[in-house]
Structure 1
Amino acid sequence: MNYRKLGKTGFNISEISLGTWQVGGKWGDAFDHTLAEQILHEAVDGGVNFIDTADVYGAGESEKAVGKFVKSRSERIYVATKCGRQLSPHVNEAYQPAVLRKFVEDSLTNMGLETLDLIQLHCPPTEVYYRPEIFELFDRLKDEGKIQNLGISVEKVEEALKGIEFDNVTSVQIIFNMFRQRPAELFFAQAQKKDVGVIVRVPLASGLLTGTFSQNSSFSEGDHRNFNRHGEKFDKGETFSGIDYETGLAAVEELKAVFPGYENLAPVALRWILMFEAVSCIIPGASRPAQVASNLHAADLPPLTEEQQKAVNTIYSQYIKPSVHPLW
């Protein structure tokens, strides 16, 4: 495993880390603590030392599983969680310092920790990034020892650029993959300039970039890939990176020709992300231990050739960019 600095946090974290949206089972399934523990052990045994969770994952069960696991290991494991998505309705007006403070304290209770290495605002509405009082709260929480660092998780590049204007924002979690390339245009350079860590989520476009899906693939009723393709429940960019499913399948077929011999394109897709030095880490999810092992394999792959990179960009420009690039 290779390690990179998470911006001005100073944390030296595994370049391939772990996201826990579905760590207790597949999306929509009941949370399985035994399975979660197996996945977490597989990751840390493989060199992972950074785990990202959120208070809404598994209705708090993911945080509980992560907290219990971290205390069972002797290694230094950095824990990041997120707050804000519990708000209903999830609107700008609902974001209030007292409410966010309660969310942070509840996360500490869930995980049985005295302090959070990193707390992140969980994809708040754009208007929140224009409210200094929200960001000032986290300075007070840091003074009280409840958090060590503040980060933001964003939907749009615009939000990322606005968020890092606040000096106490140490990291940005953003969607970036072969099918969502806009962050590399301007945001990455600005993040490096301000020493802000970049945490890449949805690196496989909700599994689309594994190359294992087809027109006949089905997803369970509780799986967002079934019910959120058009943004019915939350930003559609979270599901297949906002790409029309059929268009995505066509683009993936083109990628398979660029990378022959890979039954699963996931390691290649992750290795492509690691080519960008602004990236601090990637947080692919896993619903079983074997997926963790596959993801970690990406760190062992050689860099993509210049020809392969050009081919990826050509496929992006032809199939993806017109409908996806301007929106996020």
Structure 2
Amino acid sequence: MEKRVLGTTGRKVSVVGLGTWQFGDGWSHVQEGDARAILETAVESGVDFIDTADVYGDGRSERIIGGFLRDFRTSPGERPTVATKFGRRGPQEPAAFTLENLRAWADRSRENLRMDTLDLVQLHTPPDSVFASDAVFDALDTLVDEGRIASYGVSVETCDQALSALARPHVASLQIILNVFRRKPLDRVLPAAREAGVGVIARVPLASGLLSGKFREDTVFAAEDHRAYNRHGEQFDVGETFSGVDYATGVAAAAEFTGLAPDGITPAQLALRWVTQQDGVTTVIPGASSVAQARANAAAGSLGPLSQPLLDQLRELYDRRVRAQVHDRW
């Protein structure tokens, strides 16, 4: 699988990584043994970048990954790079982002992941005012100096937040929603990240599964699945669920998208390859709730470039079906 350097971390990571929100909560429950099998399959398939957060299952996702890393057997220095996120386990108040709290959050993740020094920590979609706080980024620099974290980045909801984060000199990575149905970051954010030398981690690449082409208007999701309870932003930013696209619109657009997949490539693989083909993207982090999904997602990291006619068709689909709903919102 192709590898790219993740911003100023200096780490080379697989162009397709693994997101692990599904190991915690917000989706249909994944048993710990199944989560372990997914991790093993992903790594065996060439994935060496794993993304998690302290809030996923209140640490369950981190702990599962920590157990996997404990038993990981390979040459020294070849274990997967792990990125975690913190800042959403409590009230979203700017005053909470103190050095004392950031240090405590980092230490909890270090314990969960069984790591002395965290590879990469990302502020987890914090309030807008945090991006303007010198004290917060000074505190993150202190955690680096103390050896608690090796590098830090920011996970954002909006392009304006992304541009604010990119103005910070020591931000190594930027995580943002980017997929065939969420293209606004292509306009300004990716060019700015390239210029700043910051790595881009693309999340929600399948639009919460819409781009797999498997859903219908009458598909029923489990009550604990955010695709059931957050369609209108009831619990967190609606852009995290189906990329903010109205479900009926998304299903209809995804049906057209599925029809554009070339022979031998699944719709999900097409969606992932589209993301990795965007100039400036370092890695994309689809989730996987089964071994088969983990293997298929990883295979997208070895696909050749998509043709220009196909790219044009995908852009036309976005402009016609989706753009008016999402482009100016985030």
Same fold (TM over 0.5): yes
Cα 1:188–1:194 change in 2 (3 A) is: same
1:228 and 1:262 map into 2 onto residues whose CA distance is 34
Equivalence map 1:287-326=2 (5 Å): 287-326=289-328
1:83 pairs with 2:86: yes
Say which SS state the counterpart of residue 21 (structure 2) adopts.
coil
- Equivalent residue, structure 1, for 2:259: 257
Paired amino acid for 2:122: Q
Per-residue CA distance 1:131-155 (angstroms, 9 max, x = gap): 1100110111111111000110000
Paired amino acid for 1:11: R
Equivalence map 1:1-328=2 (5 Å): 1-23=1-23, 27-29=27-29, 32-73=31-72, 74=74, 75-88=78-91, 90-259=92-261, 261=263, 264-328=266-330
Say which SS state the counterpart of residue 169 (structure 1) adopts.
coil
1:25 and 1:16 map into 2 onto residues whose CA distance is 22
Paired amino acid for 2:15: E
1:13 and 1:263 map into 2 onto residues whose CA distance is 23
Name the count of aligned residue pairs: 326
Greater mean alpha carbon deviation, residues 16-25 or residues 133-142:
16-25
1:313 and 1:244 map into 2 onto residues whose CA distance is 18
Say which SS state the counterpart of residue 148 (structure 2) adopts.
coil
Q: CA deviation at 1:76?
A: 2.5
Greater mean alpha carbon deviation, residues 240-249 or residues 72-81:
72-81
1:175 and 1:10 map into 2 onto residues whose CA distance is 23
Identity of counterpart residues, as a percentage?
44
Greater mean alpha carbon deviation, residues 91-100 or residues 199-208:
91-100
2:301 and 2:295 map into 1 onto residues whose CA distance is 11
1:92 and 1:317 map into 2 onto residues whose CA distance is 37
Task: Give unmatched runs, 5+ long, in structure 2.
Answer: none
Aligned 8 A contact 1:210 1:265 in 2: yes
Q: CA deviation at 1:167?
A: 0.9
Say which SS state the counterpart of residue 13 (structure 1) adopts.
strand
Q: CA deviation at 1:24?
A: 6.0
2:68 and 2:322 map into 1 onto residues whose CA distance is 39
Aligned 8 A contact 1:199 1:280 in 2: yes
Aligned 8 A contact 1:25 1:288 in 2: no
Cα 1:25–1:262 change in 2 (3 A) is: farther
Q: CA deviation at 1:46?
A: 0.7
Q: CA deviation at 1:127?
A: 1.3
CA RMSD of aligned residues (A): 1.5
Say which SS state the counterpart of residue 251 (structure 1) adopts.
helix
Aligned 8 A contact 2:212 2:258 in 1: no
